[in-house]
Structure 1
Amino acid sequence: MLQSQKIARRQSEIRQNLAELAANDAPTEEQRSQMDALDGEYQANESRYRASLIAEDDERRDADRDLETREAGEWDKLIAQYEMRQAALHLDEGRQFDGATAEVVQELRQAGGYRGVPVPFAAFETRAGETTSATVPDPVATMPMIDRLFPQSVAGAMGAQMVNVTAGGIEYPVSTSQVTAGWASTEGGDVAGPTEFSTVDRPLAPDHTLGIQMRLTRKAMKQSAGIEAAIRRDMQGAMQVEIDKAVFQGSGSNGQPAGVVAQAADYGIDSTAVDAAASYGAFRKAVTEFMLANAATGPGSVRALIRPEIWDAMDDVIFDAGSGVTEYDRLAAKLGSVTQSHNALAAPSGSTPASKALLTTNAGGQSPIFVATWGAVDLIRDPYSDAQSGGLRLTGLVTMDVSISRAEQLRVLSGLQ
C-alpha cells in the first residue's frame, strides 16, 4: 500500500475518534489530553501526507518514463529480429510467420490495414553481423525509427522532420502574424493597438504512393544466406533515391508530392537569382537575409544543399593563394553543413550551365521541412508474372507527403554557374 494511502486511512481513524470525544459535553482530563494528542498527530500527518504525494508523483513519472523507454526498447529488439526471408516465403509458399517476425506483423496489422505483408521501415537498415563494406556505416540501434530508414538521406541532412502517421491526414498550423510592440507616447496614453494573430495550415495527406518492384528467382528464395540483406538494400536504395528526389524536385502532379525546390513559389519560399559564378559571397548574402528575417542567428545554423558541379567550380577558385583556401573552403567553414547531391537537385542547364541551391535553417528548433510516411511498407506478392520460371515478384508500396513549416526557413538560390 502506498504511504499516502496509509496516512489517509489513519487520518480517517483520527477524525472518527475526535468526533466521538467531541460529542462528550463534559470531557475528563484524560479525554482532553487524548484530544490534544490526536489533534497534534492529525496536524503532523497533514504535512506527511503532502510530502508523500509529492514523492509518489515523482516515482510515478519515473516509472512512466521507464515504461515508455522499456516499451520502445522491446519494440526495437523485435524489429531487429524481423526476417525479410519469412516475408518472402509467406508470400511465395504461404508459410506461417513465427518468432519475433510474427509479433511485429501482428502489431502492424492491428495498427492499420495492409493488402500484403507489412514490413517496418526499420527492417531495411543494415544490421550488425552482416557483411558490409568498410566504408558503409553500421547504423546505431538507438536512432529514431523513421530516421533510421534513411541514415544518409539528403532530406535528413537538410533538417527535414520525418513523421510517421498511423491513419488519416495531419496538419501543422504555423503562425504568420506580424505582432508589433509600441510605446505609450504620453503618461496614461494607450500602447500599440491589438494585432490579429493569424496562422496558415501546412497539411500532410496520404495522396502520394511510391511503388518498388523486385523479382526473386526460385534459386534466390531457396538460398537463405544473404537474401534478407539483399532485399533490404535493394528496397532501401530505391526508396532513398526516389523519396529524396520527391522531397526537393517533386512536381506536385502525376502522383508526385510538391518538392520544396521545384515548387518553391507555391510554398512562398523566396528565391534569389544569382546569375553569376558560384561564390561564397552569394551564399553569404542569402544567409544575411535569413538573419534579417529572424530565421537564423548566424551562418552556423544554416544548411546548404548544392550540386557536385558547384563544389567542383568553387573548390577550383583560390581565395587566398598563400594558404590555398578556396571559395568552397570558406563556405564549408562558415555554414553549419554543406550537402552535395546530384539526385535532390536538377542538373545544370542553360547556355552557361547553371543550377540551384537550397538553404535551410531550424528556427527555434522547428524543422523547415516535413516528410510524412503512413504506416509501414506494404509488401504485396505477384506469383503469376514469373510463374513459368518459379519466380516471385514483390511490390513495396509507401505512402508519403511533403510540406514545409515556415517559408522564411528556406531560401532557393538560382543561376549558380
Structure 2
Amino acid sequence: MQLAAIREARAAKVHEARSLLAGDKLSPEQQAAFDKLKGEITSLEADEARAQFLEDAERRSAGPLDKARNELHGAVSLVEAIACQVEGRAAAGAVAEYSREIEQRTGKKGVFVPLSAFEARAQTTTSAAGIVPEDFRPDLFVGPLRNSLVMRRLGARVLTGLRGDVVIPRQKTSHVAQWIAEGESLTESGMTFDQLTLKPRHVGALTELSRQLIQQASPQIEQLVRDDMSAVLAEAFDLAMINGDGVKEPLGLLNTPGVQTANLATLSWDTVQAMMLKLGVKNVSPTAWLTSPGAAMKLATTLKSSTAGAGYLLENGTLAGLPVAVTNQVPGKGTSPVKGQIVLGDFTEMFVGVWDSVQILVNPYAETAYKRGGVMVRALMTADVAVRRPEAFVVASDVAL
C-alpha cells in the first residue's frame, strides 16, 4: 500500500476504536472488537514506518543517482569507443557501462556514447601532424571555420532523452466570452485542438581517422575529435532547423506552413515596423531576428530616415531593439537575382527533440581509408524539430542584395 493509503486506513481504525470507547463500559463483544482494532492499528503503524522509510530512501537517493549518471556520461571517451572497434576488442570502462545501459533500455546493440560526451570528425596524421609529437600544443590548434550555429542560442526549446514518437497537444482556438442583453441566449463556443509530433530522424557524419592518430596521440586528442565531429553534426542539424525539407530532414522554419510573410523589398524603418506589427496582432512578443550576412549588410547600410543624424536600421547587433543573429545557414531566395531572407519571431516556439545517444561505428576495412592505414568512423544521432505556433514567425524573402 502507498503511504497515504496506509495513513487513511489507520485513521479509520482509530476512529472506529474511539467510537467503541464512547460508552461507560465495554461489553465482552466490544472488548474483543477493540482488541482486534488495536492489533490492526499496531500493524498499520508498522506498515506506515516501513513505507515512510522507503519514501525517504528514494528521496535521498534521487540526487546521488543523477550525479552518478552524470559522472558516467562525463567519463565516456569517444576515442575509446573508436579504438576498441579498431583493435577488435570489447569496449571497456565507461564506454562499456554506458553501452550496456543503452542496450538494456532500448534493446539496440552496439557502441554508444551520450550526446553530452559526443563530438567527432577527425584528422589524419598528414593534416594533423602537429598533434602526434610529444610537444603538443592544443591551445594553438586551428579548427575549421563553421557556419555560425544559432538556433539553440536563439532560444529553441530542447527536449532530451526521448523514446519513440513524441506527441504534444496544441490548442488552436479557445472559448469566446460574449456580452448579452437581458433574456438573450449565449452562443455556444468551445476549444479545438490538434497535435505536434516529433519523430526520430537521423543525421550522420562519416569521416576518416588514422590508426597512428588513435594509438599515439596525447589525451587532448579526445577534445579535438569531439569538437570537430560535433560541429559537423550540429551544423547539419542547424541548417535543417532553418531550411529542412521535411522529407529526410526535419521540416525547417522557412518551409513550415502557417508562417507569416512580409515585404521588405523596400528597406525602411516603416517596413521593418510593419513586419513587427504582424506579430503584434497575433499577441506574439518576438525575441530575435535571423538573417544572412548579405541581408545583414543591407540592414547595416540603410538609414532609418533621410533626416540628418538618423541611425542605420542595424546598429550594434540590434534591429528595432531586438538582437540579430547572422549565419550563412539562412539561404537566399530565388535566382537572377538572389534575394535575401529575414526572419522575425519568438524562437521559444520551436521545439527540438533529441533521442540522446549517439551511435559510433568503425569500419577499418573501408577501401580508400584502408589503403592509407586509416579507418572510417560513422556517427549517427537522432533528432527532430517542430514549430509549435507557426504564426509566431514572420519571414521576408524579398530583400535586395
Pick closer, same or farther for the CA change 1:383–1:281 going to 2, 3 Å: same
The Cα of 1:305 is off from its aligned counterpart by 0.5
1:286 equivalenced with 2:284 (yes/no)? no
Of all paired residues, the percent bearing the same amino acid is 21
1:396 equivalenced with 2:385 (yes/no)? no
Other-structure match for 2:324: 338
Q: Secondary structure at the match of 1:412?
A: strand
Separation in structure 1 between the aligned mates of residue 263 and residue 302 of structure 2, nearest angstrom:
21
TM-score by length of 1: 0.72
Pick closer, same or farther for the CA change 1:166–1:178 going to 2, 3 Å: closer
Pick closer, same or farther for the CA change 1:288–1:71 going to 2, 3 Å: farther
Q: Secondary structure at the match of 2:158?
A: strand
Of 155, 159, 170, 1:163 maps to 159
Other-structure match for 1:210: 203
Matches within 5 A, 1:4-403: 15=18, 18=21, 22-23=25-26, 64=59, 67-114=61-108, 116-124=110-118, 131-132=138-139, 153-186=149-182, 188-191=183-186, 193-206=187-200, 208-225=201-218, 226-253=220-247, 255-261=248-254, 263-264=255-256, 267-277=257-267, 279-296=268-285, 301-319=286-304, 325-329=311-315, 332=318, 334-343=320-329, 345-347=330-332, 350-361=335-346, 367-385=348-366, 386-403=369-386
Separation in structure 2 between the aligned mates of residue 260 and residue 373 of structure 1, nearest angstrom:
17
Contact 2:160 2:355 in 1 (8 A): yes
Separation in structure 1 between the aligned mates of residue 314 and residue 324 of structure 2, nearest angstrom:
10
Count, aligned residues: 353
The Cα of 1:384 is off from its aligned counterpart by 1.0
Contact 1:368 1:405 in 2 (8 A): yes
Separation in structure 2 between the aligned mates of residue 223 and residue 260 of structure 1, nearest angstrom:
44
Pick closer, same or farther for the CA change 1:183–1:16 going to 2, 3 Å: closer
Structure 2 residue runs of 5 or longer lacking an equivalent are 29-44, 121-136
Separation in structure 1 between the aligned mates of residue 208 and residue 170 of structure 2, nearest angstrom:
44
Separation in structure 2 between the aligned mates of residue 82 and residue 322 of structure 1, nearest angstrom:
61
Contact 2:317 2:323 in 1 (8 A): no
One-letter code of the match for 1:402? Answer: V
Separation in structure 1 between the aligned mates of residue 204 and residue 119 of structure 2, nearest angstrom:
19
Structure 1 residue runs of 5 or longer lacking an equivalent are 26-48, 137-149
CA-based RMSD:
4.0
The Cα of 1:70 is off from its aligned counterpart by 3.5
The Cα of 1:412 is off from its aligned counterpart by 1.3
Separation in structure 2 between the aligned mates of residue 312 and residue 347 of structure 1, nearest angstrom:
14
The Cα of 1:232 is off from its aligned counterpart by 0.8
The Cα of 1:83 is off from its aligned counterpart by 1.0
Pick closer, same or farther for the CA change 1:405–1:122 going to 2, 3 Å: same
One-letter code of the match for 1:346? Answer: P
Q: Secondary structure at the match of 2:191?
A: coil
The Cα of 1:63 is off from its aligned counterpart by 7.0
Contact 2:158 2:352 in 1 (8 A): yes
The Cα of 1:69 is off from its aligned counterpart by 4.0
Contact 1:118 1:376 in 2 (8 A): yes
TM-score by length of 2: 0.75
One-letter code of the match for 1:236? Answer: S
Of 407, 410, 413, 2:390 maps to 407
Other-structure match for 1:43: none
Pick closer, same or farther for the CA change 1:414–1:24 going to 2, 3 Å: same
Pick closer, same or farther for the CA change 1:179–1:135 going to 2, 3 Å: farther
